[in-house]
Amino acid sequence: MSEPKSNVSPEAQNIAARVEAFVRNVVAPFEKDPRCDSHGPSDELASELRDLARGEGLLTPHIRDDGSHFSHTDTALILRKSGVSPLGPIACHVMAPDEGNMYLLGKVGSDAIKERFLAPLVEGKGRSAFFMTEPAEDGGAGSDPSLMQTTCRRDGNHWVINGRKAFITGADGARVGIIMAKSTEPDSEGGACLFLVDLPDPAIQTERVLETIDSSMPGGHAVITIDNLRVPADQMLGDVGEGFKYAQIRLAPARLTHCMRWLGMADRAQEIAADYACRRMAFGKQLIDHEGVGFMLAQNKIDLKACELMIDWCAGVLDTGDLGTTESSMAKTFVSEALFQIADRCVQTMGGTGVTGDTIVEQLFREVRAFRIYDGPTEVHKWSLAKKIKREWREAQAAE
């Protein structure tokens, strides 16, 4: 199939090819490693994989040696190729939440914060966690961050944080935490603040690591209690009350990088399902020659291309310097829903084999089902887009 000229730089294309070869040939054999369980690969395995990537010069391959990032368009291809195995993003150190956290600290962190917290992350010396979501039973923040219950107050040259957090990816075993809390100071109007903390800390306790449908992220997803955590004032990220604004800097690109990684995994699932359908004989002919099967794989091919184009479009918007909030909502909604349908068709094509752990197809189905909720459920993004449509309509009416 002919392809139009790519907007991806030759440098990024070369790195992406190296990443894909590394992930397929070196990383993928670890998919059956017993150190992978329901809470994700162990830190021991993650460290071993990062060492392998480091040896190939492919650790954080979307960040150049001078610390500069490739464009979002370039990054889309690099991260897509890392996702060919569920362990690929971990090996290359481009997995959530680390990738998004590194991006945020690189954008708004002070020199001191970059040296102390960002540099070790980029070097792959530990993991990080982003503490924002809170337990529903507490009435806390989820898709609506204005419900933030975790508080912070000044105490001399420190801030004291109290609250509970939920679904905190990678908190168990992380070395760096970014904590969002609502200021109780009179002059802050209850604005959110972001703080950098070293982990573990005795004031931050894991209540439990949840059993969830997905299993690709080290440390799983935890419920956390924060009890009188004291954080030096110079470890606040940016200014008091600006936490939501800084979070938006992180969230739009992070939504898109999720799409990039899972698209790579869907590419491989399609390969596996197509190979199965071409090898399997049923009712006198190859399975793919039955329209009910062949058409599912054909639709997958169409949807994979549509996902690629949606990701590249949104990446292009981000590359202009725009926050891309609307575009990332559209991309995240479309891609997560499309990838779920792709995964479902791959499972269906492979029948009984598709629901086993013999291939990554079953895992993709679980992972993208969770992705339809993580980083904002589909319905929340559509609600936000509907509000924008109404606002634009009102503005158009007022202009007449």
CA–CA dist 55, 118 (Å, integer) = 21
Burial label, 310 (beta-carbon count in 10 A; 0-12, 13-18, 19+)? buried
CA–CA dist 235, 281 (Å, integer): 62
pLDDT digits 0-9 by tens, 16-26? 999 999 999 99
What are the tens digits of pLDDT across the range 149-193? 999 999 999 999 999 999 999 999 999 999 999 999 887 777 899
Q: Which helix (H) or strand (E) holds 300?
A: helix 291-319
Question: Has residue 36 got a pLDDT over 60?
Answer: yes
Give tens-digit pLDDT for 335-360: 999 999 999 999 999 999 999 999 99
Whole-number pLDDT of residue 181: 96
Rounded distance between C-alpha atoms, residue 129 and residue 175, angstroms: 8
213, 224, 367 from 210: Cα distances, Å? 10, 11, 15
Phi-psi region of 212 (alpha: psi -120 to 50; beta: other; left: phi over 0): beta
Q: What is the pLDDT of residues 83-134, one digit of tens each?
A: 999 999 999 999 999 999 999 999 999 999 999 999 999 999 999 999 999 9
CB neighbour list of residue 94: distance below 8 Å, 6 or more residues apart: 60, 61, 62, 78, 79, 82, 257, 261
- Tell me whether residue 147 is exposed, middle or buried, using C-beta atoms within 10 angstroms of its C-beta: 0 to 12, 13 to 18, 19 or more: middle
Span 33-45, average pLDDT: 94
Does the structure show a pLDDT above 90 at 146? no
pLDDT in tens, 231-266: 999 999 988 888 988 888 888 999 999 999 999 999
SS3 of the chain: helix, strand, coil, percent, to 5: 55, 15, 30
Please give the mean pLDDT across all residues of the chain: 95
> What pLDDT is recorded for position 281?
96
Cα 28 from Cα 214, distance rounded (Å): 18
For the domain made up of 244-399, give the CATH fold.
Answer: Butyryl-CoA Dehydrogenase, subunit A; domain 3 (1.20.140)
Model pLDDT for residues 185-227, shown as the tens digit of each residue? 887 777 899 999 999 999 999 999 999 999 999 999 999 999 9
392 pLDDT tier (thresholds 50, 70, 90):
very high
Q: What is the pLDDT of residue 5?
A: 64
Q: Which two tokens stand for residue 112?
A: 């001191």
Alpha helices in 149-242 (DSSP H): none
* Closest by CA position to 354, among listed 303, 285, 296, 305: 296
| Tokens describing residue 216 | 């690709």
What 8-state DSSP symbol labels residue 60? Answer: S
**Mean pLDDT of all residues in 289-298:** 97
Written as one string, the DSSP assignment of 206-223 is: EEEEE--S---STT-EEE
Q: What CATH superfamily is the domain 128-237?
A: Butyryl-CoA Dehydrogenase, subunit A, domain 2 (2.40.110.10)
pTM of the model: 0.94
What pLDDT sits at residue 400?
Answer: 82
pLDDT of residue 272: 98
Q: Report domain extents, the chain.
A: 10-95, 128-237, 244-399
Q: What pLDDT, on a 0 to 100 scale, did the predictor assign at position 2?
A: 56
Q: Give strand pairing partners of 176.
A: 128, 198
- Write the burial class of residue 343 (CB in 10 Å: 0-12 exposed, 13-18 middle, 19+ buried): buried
User: Is the per-residue pLDDT at 1 higher than 60?
Assistant: no
- The string of pLDDT tens digits covering residues 50-63 is 999 999 999 999 99
How high is the pLDDT of residue 86?
A: 97
Q: Percent of the chain at pLDDT above 70?
A: 99
Q: Which residues contact 400 (CB under 8 A, 6 or more apart)?
A: none
